Amino acid sequence: MSDTLITMIAILLAAILMFIFPLLSISERSDDISQLSVQTAVTEFVDNSRSIGKITMDNYDKLLATIQATGNSYDVEMEVKVLDENVGKKSAWIQGTVIGENVYYSVFTTQIIDTITKSPNGVYVMKEGDIFSVSIKNTNKTMSQTIRGVFYSIAGGDVYSIAAQHSGVVTANGSN
Amino acid sequence: MKLQSFCIVFALIIIPILLVLTYYIQLQVDTVTLQTEYDTKLLDATYDAMSSFEINTANEDLSSVSDALRTIIEASNNVFFNTLSTNLGMSNASKSYVEPYVPSILYALYDGYYIYAPTKVPEILTNDKGVALAVGDYQNSSNPDEEKYKVVFKEDGYYKLIKDLPTDDVPMVYNDDIGTDYGQILYTAKDDSGKTKMDGSDILYTPDPDKALLKTKNVLKTYMPYSARYKDKENGKYDINVTYTLDNYITIEGCLYPPTDRTIYVTKSGYLINTSNVKIRRKKDDDTAIIDNYSESGIQKYIEDGGEIYVEIDSLEIVHISGLNKKAIDDELVFLKNQIEDAQIIKNQIKDAQQINDKYSEIAEKINLKFHTSAESNGDSIISVCNSLITDRQYKLSQISSAVYYCKAYLFTNWVIDNFGRGGAYVVHENNIQEISGIPLEFENNDAANNNSIISTNGIFDFSKSEDVCVFDLKGSSQTQDRKIGVTEIDEDSAFYTHKLNVIRNSMQYNLNLAMTAYSENATIDYAMPIISDSEWEDILSNPTIVAFMQGFNCGLKTYNNYVIVSSTNNEISVSPNNIYYVKKDLFNDENSEYHKINCEHILDQLNSNPDNIGNMTDFISFTSKEIKYDKIFNKSKSNSYYWYDHKNLACYYCINDGNYDGIAGGIFNKTNGSDYDYPSLVRAYYMSLAKERNDLYKPNAVTNNIETEVVYDNNTDHADVNRSSYKALKDIDYIEIVFKDIKINTLEVATVPISVDENIGTFNTNSLNANDSRNQTRILNINSNIGSNTKVNCEYLKKEISINGVEVKNFKDNNNNPINPIKYIKVFYKK
């Protein structure tokens, strides 16, 4: 009887050792590779956009194509912090109701995509001094997350294993 | 074997594989992360370099003069290395450590480019303080702190530096060998094997650069203009050099040979525009041909002195001015600005309103107020009156500038097309190109049947069809109605535009390649120039740009190799129509109104109330984005003139801050009813502003005076034929430079004698000659601009027309009463 129990435990352990752990390890490596490719793609996208001063449909599509090639689905969040040019440079303001003191206001993904799709050339224009940032997270459960979930689960729905972000100051005034 | 054993064996096999795999993937991840980090550091450093360039050009006076520009580029270069080394975790003084990883940096500017790259340079002999030593230098003193040395001659042209001099050593006596080299800079000499040449333990030096030891050093190479040389191979009718710029400004220098025994020298700069829709007259109903009689500098002087001029583009009046004297307006602006400052000071001193009234006359007197009325009896009003006058004067200056731009561009373009365009006397085909910025091109006659030469040295130019490609074909296939940039701009699909971009790109590519090959010789790995994509070239060729290359950093599994491109849109050296902002003249510097881009829907709010027809047009004042960004107060192209923009208008939240706006439906050039513009005020503002900004741009390599000259007579050369006539007639001549010699009339007891010419022909700039002088005396004969004469000028003609001391030159006699010809040299300057 005890022999049978030990054998069963041994088989279970063997199964975990022989299949689950390698699978977990390999799927985690796979996530690492996805992470790598997503990070590279997002950096290239942000740096390219900020050096030419515009977000183009072409570049955005290229970014999506690159990250989707990893086999996961992602949530791409873009944010442009628009520099308010209305700076109180001179002391001669007469009225007290002057708006704008070198502040930034933000424009987010949906507004940006909306502008790009409506623009005839498929671009979102930024200007020198604006700040552009992109953050990408996976929305599906990757295989490593699923396997890990068998052993332990992390509370909360907003769990991701692939995340990449990059941001930078825009270096040129874009044009349509 | 038991199951347990299988498990252990399996684990033993799998675990090492997994470990290695994990390690390898981690390395890959690190590599790419590191590469990304390097990319960002390089981009940040290049961005800092560009920012420093923009700020320095904005604030440094005369920053566009090439020498100052070079200093600015060097400063920008230092900023690049400072930021890069700081970002890489080193001290910002680690330039020398980082330099070997930067194959080159390209600074593409308005009309040429700099390359910062390693170059082989000779090592100069210096003393302890770094001062260069020359042949014959000697220093000896009893002060133990001072360095003692003398440069002595060895033999075979080599020199030695002797340092340990006894205190009683005397200055060396120069022998003949040293005497010939005296004062020359010395370089470290090289021996036959290419190493430092030694004499025992002493290093030898040479004044001969060919014998000098070369060391690799990173330097900013000389400025290379975007130029190309064209030579008529078949008929030998011209040999010219054309310098292009990022926009439509070009410089043409060289020789024309109308018949081959004649040489006309041309040196001209100007803007090329599409002239077909441009009409320029002195008055609205004047004859256009009158303008054609002016030279470019002549028309500028005419306008700036207050002459009447009427510029019409596409049937819309753009500028119609008369009586506006530029200098007077400039002076007035300075006066008004001073008045405002005085009024501000007084206003700050007097707080009480009653006091202001009491002291009004005192204020008025103190600030020399010429325009006060009772309504203006407080400090604010004086200031606001001054401000509105300043705005008005500034608008007038813009009108003058834009009129000058269109007139000069019109005349220049016509000259270029008439001479070098299709059907012109010296038509320039693409395959007449000889050199691009000093690179000689080699042709192969691959297509002998059709007599076409095909270039063999690079892949950019395809000359197989270039018999048909005329370099100065300015028209493309664009439909002018649909264009966003206006009808005067050159089509982007025209032969000229494509050729210009090819010339610039080819020159940059060649020289970058050359720099990188030189770099590769000293690098540990083979390095070649990366391939820059077409879209990246487009970025480089549309604005001033810095391209920084970096390679060689250890980057995990591979070696880093990449480049970044950073363009500049806020600088002093170029103008882009996208970066010009507009505000209605009456609202200029009003803190409650906004400035806009020209096609913003909200600019329509500033148009005069209905309907915006020709008779009720709105005046707009414009300025460029750099004036906002760098808070500009000084205009370097006009030394005494301020930028009058006080930055009080607000930026429009739709077009300036955001940049993503719908714009005016159909664009500003829309014509709903087919003939008149929907928004003539905006069209006029656009054409005027672009012209003003371009005309006021300081161009480092521009020719100040456009000239076309011919030496008609020179008694020292083979042109000593008195009957040899000028190629063009008097009506095409602007002025004549005449050199007189051997004027000896010492029978007269006067210092000078009068020189005169028939008033119908022209006038001399100086009406006299020294009476007793055997030296050359040069006088300028300004030809009457209304002369319609078809007579050609030669020495005989001038001898007949010019009188010295009341006597015709043909009868001129020296002291011994022998007839001589006092005219030694005649050079004519053609109008165009």
pLDDT tens digits, one per residue of B196-239: 888 888 888 988 888 898 888 888 988 888 999 998 878 888 99
Other CB atoms within a 10 A radius of the CB of residue B361 amount to 12
Nearest to A84, CA basis, from A99, A64, A73: A99
In a domain, A144, yes or no: yes
B655-to-A95, A142, B623, B626, B663 alpha-carbon distances in Å:
24, 43, 15, 16, 8
User: What's the pLDDT at B382?
Assistant: 67
In this predicted structure, the answer to whether residue B441 has a pLDDT above a threshold of 80 is: no
User: What's the pLDDT at B81?
Assistant: 93
A43 contacts on B by Cβ (under 8 Å): 36, 39-40
User: What's the pLDDT at B748?
Assistant: 63
Average pLDDT value for residue range B350-374: 54
Nearest to B619, CA basis, from B568, B584, B666, B668: B584
A174 contacts on B by Cβ (under 8 Å): 659
In this predicted structure, the answer to whether residue B546 has a pLDDT above a threshold of 90 is: yes
Question: Residue A36 is nearest to which of B28, B568, B656, comparing CB atoms?
Answer: B28
Identify the residue with better confidence: B648 or B776: B776
B319: Cα separation from own chain's centroid:
27
Q: A94–B591: do the CB atoms touch at under 8 Å? A: yes
User: What's the pLDDT at B444?
Assistant: 65
Task: List beta partners, residue A82.
Answer: A105
In this predicted structure, the answer to whether residue B156 has a pLDDT above a threshold of 50 is: yes
Other CB atoms within a 10 A radius of the CB of residue B170 amount to 10
Taking CA–CA distances from A116, the nearest residue in chain B reads B660
Distance in angstroms (rounded) separating the CA atoms of residues B785 and B317: 27
In a domain, A175, yes or no: no
B630 lies within 8 A of chain A by CB: no
In this predicted structure, the answer to whether residue B129 has a pLDDT above a threshold of 60 is: yes
B536 lies within 8 A of chain A by CB: no
Distance in angstroms (rounded) separating the CA atoms of residues B378 and B360: 7
Identify the residue with better confidence: B489 or B745: B489
Q: Are A85 and A130 in contact (CB under 8 A)?
A: no
Distance in angstroms (rounded) separating the CA atoms of residues B22 and B14: 12
Q: Mean pLDDT highest for which of B473-482, B536-545, B701-710?
A: B536-545
Q: Are B675 and B489 in contact (CB under 8 A)?
A: no
Q: What is the mean pLDDT of each run of 10 residues along chain A (176 residues)?
A: 82 81 84 89 91 90 93 93 72 48 84 90 89 92 83 64 88 80
- Chosen for mutation from A29, A34, A89, A95 (greatest number of chain B CBs closer than 10 Å) is A29
Q: Which of residues 50-69 of B touch A (CB under 8 A)?
A: 50
* Residues contacting residue B67 through CB under 8 Å, at least 6 positions apart: none
A90 lies within 8 A of chain B by CB: yes
ipTM metric = 0.78
pLDDT tens digits, one per residue of B69-80: 888 899 999 999
B8 lies within 8 A of chain A by CB: no
Q: B43–A93: do the CB atoms touch at under 8 Å? A: no
Taking CA–CA distances from A11, the nearest residue in chain B reads B3
Question: Residue B25 is nearest to which of A32, A174, A175, comparing CB atoms?
Answer: A32
> Identity (one letter) of the amino acid at B148?
K
Range name among B437-441, B468-472, B734-738 with the lowest pLDDT average: B437-441
Q: Are B58 and B526 in contact (CB under 8 A)?
A: no
Q: B657–A82: do the CB atoms touch at under 8 Å? A: yes
> Strands across the sheet with B316-321, in order?
B278-281, B309-313, B316-321
A110 lies within 8 A of chain B by CB: no
Nearest to A162, CA basis, from A130, A137, A129: A137
Q: Are strands B238-244 and B249-256 parallel, antiparallel or unpaired?
A: antiparallel
B543 contacts on A by Cβ (under 8 Å): 172
Identify the residue with better confidence: B490 or A90: B490
In a domain, A17, yes or no: no
A169 contacts on B by Cβ (under 8 Å): 47
Average pLDDT value for residue range B172-179: 62
User: What's the pLDDT at B787?
Assistant: 79
CA distance A37 to chain B (A): 9
Q: Which of residues 26-65 of A touch B (CB under 8 A)?
A: 26, 29, 32-33, 35-36, 39-40, 43-44, 47, 51-53
Q: Please return the burial class of B678, using the count of CB atoms within 10 Å of its CB with bins 0-12, 13-18 and 19+.
A: middle
B6 lies within 8 A of chain A by CB: yes
Q: Looking at residue B587, what DSSP letter applies?
A: G
Q: Are B779 and B824 in contact (CB under 8 A)?
A: no
Q: Looking at residue B592, what DSSP letter applies?
A: T
CA distance B660 to chain A (A): 6
* Residues contacting residue B316 through CB under 8 Å, at least 6 positions apart: B614, B677, B680, B683, B684
Phi-psi region of B768 (alpha: psi -120 to 50; beta: other; left: phi over 0): beta
B625 lies within 8 A of chain A by CB: yes
> Is B133 strand, coil or helix?
coil
User: What's the pLDDT at B672?
Assistant: 83
User: What's the pLDDT at B377?
Assistant: 47
Average pLDDT value for residue range B272-281: 89
In this predicted structure, the answer to whether residue B60 has a pLDDT above a threshold of 60 is: yes
Task: List beta partners, residue A83.
Answer: A104
Q: B659–A125: do the CB atoms touch at under 8 Å? A: yes
pLDDT tens digits, one per residue of B501-524: 988 988 898 889 888 888 888 777
Q: B579–A173: do the CB atoms touch at under 8 Å? A: yes
> Is B264 strand, coil or helix?
strand
B22 contacts on A by Cβ (under 8 Å): 25, 29
- The first and second tokens of residue B682, run together, are 């905006």
Other CB atoms within a 10 A radius of the CB of residue B660 amount to 24
Q: Mean pLDDT highest for which of B55-69, B435-449, B531-545, B630-644?
A: B531-545
User: What's the pLDDT at B628?
Assistant: 76
A1 lies within 8 A of chain B by CB: no
> B809 — phi, psi (to 5°)?
-60, -30
Range name among A72-76, B379-383, B719-723, B756-760 with the lowest pLDDT average: B379-383
Other CB atoms within a 10 A radius of the CB of residue A139 amount to 11
DSSP string, B57-126: HHHSTTTTSHHHHHHHHHHHHHHHHHHHHHHTTS-TT-HHHHGGG---EEEE-SSEEEEEEEEEEEPBPB
User: What's the pLDDT at B253?
Assistant: 93
pLDDT tens digits, one per residue of B560-619: 989 999 988 888 788 888 889 999 988 887 778 889 999 898 998 888 776 555 567 888
User: What's the pLDDT at A91?
Assistant: 46
Average pLDDT value for residue range B770-788: 84
Q: A10–B7: do the CB atoms touch at under 8 Å? A: yes
* Residues contacting residue A125 through CB under 8 Å, at least 6 positions apart: A53, A54, A174, A175, A176, B658, B659, B660
Helices (H), B173-274: 176-181
* Confidence category of residue B347, pLDDT binned at 50, 70, 90: low
- The first and second tokens of residue B314, run together, are 């596409």
Q: Which of residues 139-168 of A touch B (CB under 8 A)?
A: 166, 168
Average pLDDT value for residue range B780-797: 85
B50 contacts on A by Cβ (under 8 Å): 171
Q: B659–A29: do the CB atoms touch at under 8 Å? A: no
B20 lies within 8 A of chain A by CB: no
* Residues contacting residue B166 through CB under 8 Å, at least 6 positions apart: none
B18 lies within 8 A of chain A by CB: yes
Q: Are B823 and B795 in contact (CB under 8 A)?
A: yes
Question: Residue B32 is nearest to which of A13, A39, A125, comparing CB atoms?
Answer: A39
* Whole-angstrom Cα Rg for chain A: 24
Range name among B182-196, B311-325, B463-477 with the lowest pLDDT average: B463-477
Q: Are B138 and B172 in contact (CB under 8 A)?
A: yes
CA distance B659 to chain A (A): 6
User: What's the pLDDT at B298?
Assistant: 85
User: What's the pLDDT at B457?
Assistant: 54
Number of structural domains chain A divides into: 1
Q: Which of residues 112-141 of A touch B (CB under 8 A)?
A: 115, 119, 124-129
User: What's the pLDDT at A158?
Assistant: 58
A158-to-A75, A154, B66 alpha-carbon distances in Å:
11, 10, 59
B246-276 b/e with 16+ CB inside 10 Å = b?
bbbbbbbbbebbeeeebebebebbbbbbbbe
Average pLDDT value for residue range B154-170: 77
Reply yes or no: is the peptide bond before residue B259 cis, omega within 30 of 0: no
Identify the residue with better confidence: B447 or B208: B208
- The first and second tokens of residue A63, run together, are 């970014």
Nearest to B762, CA basis, from B745, B781, B778: B781
In this predicted structure, the answer to whether residue B10 has a pLDDT above a threshold of 90 is: no
Identify the residue with better confidence: B342 or B448: B342
In a domain, A10, yes or no: no
* Confidence category of residue B806, pLDDT binned at 50, 70, 90: confident
Q: Are B248 and B272 in contact (CB under 8 A)?
A: yes
Angle (deg, nearest 10), helices A21-52 and B3-59: 10
Distance in angstroms (rounded) separating the CA atoms of residues A135 and A123: 19
B557 lies within 8 A of chain A by CB: no
- What is the domain extent for residue A58? 31-169
User: What's the pLDDT at A145?
Assistant: 84
User: What's the pLDDT at B174?
Assistant: 58
A7 contacts on B by Cβ (under 8 Å): 3
Distance in angstroms (rounded) separating the CA atoms of residues B468 and A85: 50
Average pLDDT value for residue range B423-449: 76
Helices (H), A16-142: 21-52, 57-68, 109-118
Distance in angstroms (rounded) separating the CA atoms of residues B525 and B3: 54
User: What's the pLDDT at A93?
Assistant: 47
